[in-house]
A and B are shown apart, each in its own frame.
Chain A
């Protein structure tokens, strides 16, 4: 207590200058946006379909990782079954287009809404659980939704649904549809990054960070934790739901094993951890880096069968040696970088 000032006025006067808010620096949204747009534009420059398809897979991973980061990295809750939102959004969207004859736009909206609604219901029910219990229940929810859909006739039961390709005529035929859905995905990835930045630097986000650090202390300081956690979960579910609707529309068919693969959840966790949980740029780089590695492994003659083993080993190494991930490590190693790296 070097500067004691015993006689301050009765109320705290507000300082004349505007203090810098934590994380509010243009680079903090511009850098991740630049990466996403760079990745998104690359196939347009080369003009090759194979590049576009590669980037589609990669940007899908970016949306999954960036969204998952809101509950995992900001709030500190490990959602092991996050793919459930992708799958449910996919099914709902697909059903609307293939069976009800609705447009892709309505399908995207409904997919996002369905995922958000499910997250809200799960949030109310299980977000009072902490740590490992929450993680376990999210796996259970994924399996339960999968089992439900396997027995739900309107969604085609275990066989799933297929789409008549004539549907694509409304979107200029299959070729134009592939191009258009790619643009939509780029837009969703941009939305994911902007949402992640907005949440991270908002008052709501500060509440989430305090929950991650010490939930009991956060409650005592006035953070309404049940509400904050539920909304964090909802926000982390909506974009995966929309991407699910987009993905299966493009795919032309949907079936339970494709919609709810548990390994996709785990890969998303690896991406977030790799890039740096709780940061905005980290999950983007993590998703890109992981997908690049995966592409290398899958095309390698000797390594293609052990691709998931490698990602498991990678997760282990990250947790052991750089639990903060790439961006977290940089922020710690070079404190001066904290202003521009988030």
Chain B
């Protein structure tokens, strides 16, 4: 399998705070990689480094064989990477269709308006936004706005899709549907990294998972390996042996 994305020793600091600390991993084409970790672990910051919103202080990011470290977000987007935002950012005064058209027209394919409108219609249909195509994006509810984020990213027809908590705030039925959607996106040949807090969903959908804690990569492996990894349990629950030690009166 070819390596689509390689992150090498990436470090990002904000003043004295090291938000991402010497993180390295590889991503193969066609994979779904889960990125988990407690709140404030640096997951979104890592996304921002990968797609060019931040320039890391140290390390390199290679995408499709190119060193894209220090590229602007629009250059990264046009080179074939799309993302969604954890805090939704709809273009509120534009219609849903226009929002999705921006993704299609300015993304990896850089389509003309007419083609962008066709792709937008297709993607809205796929994500169940078709009836709301002519509504203003600002008038959607949160679940719909999440889907709009996904629609815009998908309309760009990227090689790599970064999903930042697309399941947060959805009810169980919506989560099940979104998981199916993510799998369907992968079947289209799009590689995915997803940040998620909904554990059963990410365990179910990911091929591999990496875990961040305090900016450091503490574990990497299949969902089963991660679920039983002592460092991961410690990061989420505190010391796993703590209860035993307390019980035995040490």
Q: Which residue of chain A has the shortest Cβ distance to B123 in the bound complex?
A: A12
Interchain CA distance A22-B135 in the complex, whole Å:
12
Contact A209:B98 (CB < 8 A) given known A3-B128, A219-B74, A220-B53: yes
Contact A210:B126 (CB < 8 A) given known A203-B112, A222-B74: no
Contact A203:B105 (CB < 8 A) given known A6-B183, A10-B188, A217-B89: yes
Q: Does B119 contact A (CB under 8 A)?
A: yes
In residues 184-200 of chain B, which contact A (Cβ within 8 Å)?
184, 187-189
In residues 1-43 of chain A, which contact B (Cβ within 8 Å)?
1-15, 18-22
Flag if B105 contacts A206 (CB, 8 Å). Answer: yes
Interchain CA distance A210-B107 in the complex, whole Å:
13
Q: Which residue of chain B has the shortest Cβ distance to A324 in the bound complex?
A: B93
Interchain CA distance A242-B93 in the complex, whole Å:
32
Flag if B174 contacts A1 (CB, 8 Å). Answer: yes
Interchain CA distance A7-B114 in the complex, whole Å:
25
In residues 118-142 of chain B, which contact A (Cβ within 8 Å)?
118-123, 125-128, 130, 134
Contact A12:B122 (CB < 8 A) given known A4-B128, A21-B117, A219-B74: yes
Contact of A1 among B105, B106, B110, B147 (CB under 8 A): B147
Flag if A214 contacts B89 (CB, 8 Å). Answer: yes
Among B2-10, B77-85, B227-235, the stretch in contact with A: B77-85
Contact of A213 among B92, B107, B126 (CB under 8 A): B92
Interchain CA distance A256-B134 in the complex, whole Å:
49
Q: Does B97 contact A (CB under 8 A)?
A: yes
Q: Does A162 contact B (CB under 8 A)?
A: no
Per-position binary interface string of chain B over residues 149-187, scored 1 when its CB falls under 8 Å from any chain A CB and 0 otherwise: 000100011000000000000000010011011011001
Shortest beta-carbon distance, B128 to chain A, in Å?
Answer: 4
Contact of B51 among A8, A212, A218, A220 (CB under 8 A): A220
Shortest beta-carbon distance, A2 to chain B, in Å?
Answer: 5
Q: Does B102 contact A (CB under 8 A)?
A: yes
Q: Which residue of chain B has the shortest Cβ distance to A20 in the bound complex?
A: B117
Instruction: List B contacts of A9 (CB < 8 A).
Output: 188
Flag if B177 contacts A4 (CB, 8 Å). Answer: yes
Flag if A206 contacts B102 (CB, 8 Å). Answer: yes
Interface size in chain B (residues, C-beta < 8 A): 59
Interface size in chain A (residues, C-beta < 8 A): 41
Interchain CA distance A12-B156 in the complex, whole Å:
11
Contact of A221 among B106, B157, B177, B187 (CB under 8 A): B106
Per-position binary interface string of chain B over residues 83-107, scored 1 when its CB falls under 8 Å from any chain A CB and 0 otherwise: 1010001111111011001110111
Question: Which of A10, A212, A219, A224 is the most central at the interface, judged by chain B CB atoms within 10 Å of its CB?
Answer: A219
Interchain CA distance A2-B130 in the complex, whole Å:
10
Per-position binary interface string of chain A over residues 256-287, scored 1 when its CB falls under 8 Å from any chain B CB and 0 otherwise: 00000000000000000000001000000000
Q: Does A305 contact B (CB under 8 A)?
A: no
Contact A6:B180 (CB < 8 A) given known A1-B128, A203-B113: yes
Shortest beta-carbon distance, B47 to chain A, in Å?
Answer: 10
Interchain CA distance A210-B137 in the complex, whole Å:
12
Q: Which residue of chain A has the shortest Cβ distance to B130 in the bound complex?
A: A3
Q: Which residue of chain B has the shortest Cβ distance to A23 in the bound complex?
A: B98
Q: Does B115 contact A (CB under 8 A)?
A: yes
Interchain CA distance A2-B53 in the complex, whole Å:
34
Per-position binary interface string of chain A over residues 215-256, scored 1 when its CB falls under 8 Å from any chain B CB and 0 otherwise: 011111111110000000000000000000000000000000
Flag if B94 contacts A213 (CB, 8 Å). Answer: yes
Flag if A224 contacts B188 (CB, 8 Å). Answer: no
Flag if A21 contacts B113 (CB, 8 Å). Answer: yes
Question: Which of A12, A13, A21 is the most central at the interface, judged by chain B CB atoms within 10 Å of its CB?
Answer: A12
Q: Which residue of chain B has the shortest Cβ distance to A217 in the bound complex?
A: B89
Interface residues of A (CB under 8 A from B): 1-15, 18-22, 202-203, 206-207, 209-210, 212-214, 216-225, 278, 338
Given A206-B101, A210-B91, 6 additional A-B pairs, CB 8 A: A1-B147, A4-B128, A12-B157, A14-B119, A202-B113, A225-B74
What are the 4 A-B residue pairs with the smallest beta carbon separation, nearest first? Answer: A222-B77, A213-B91, A222-B106, A217-B89
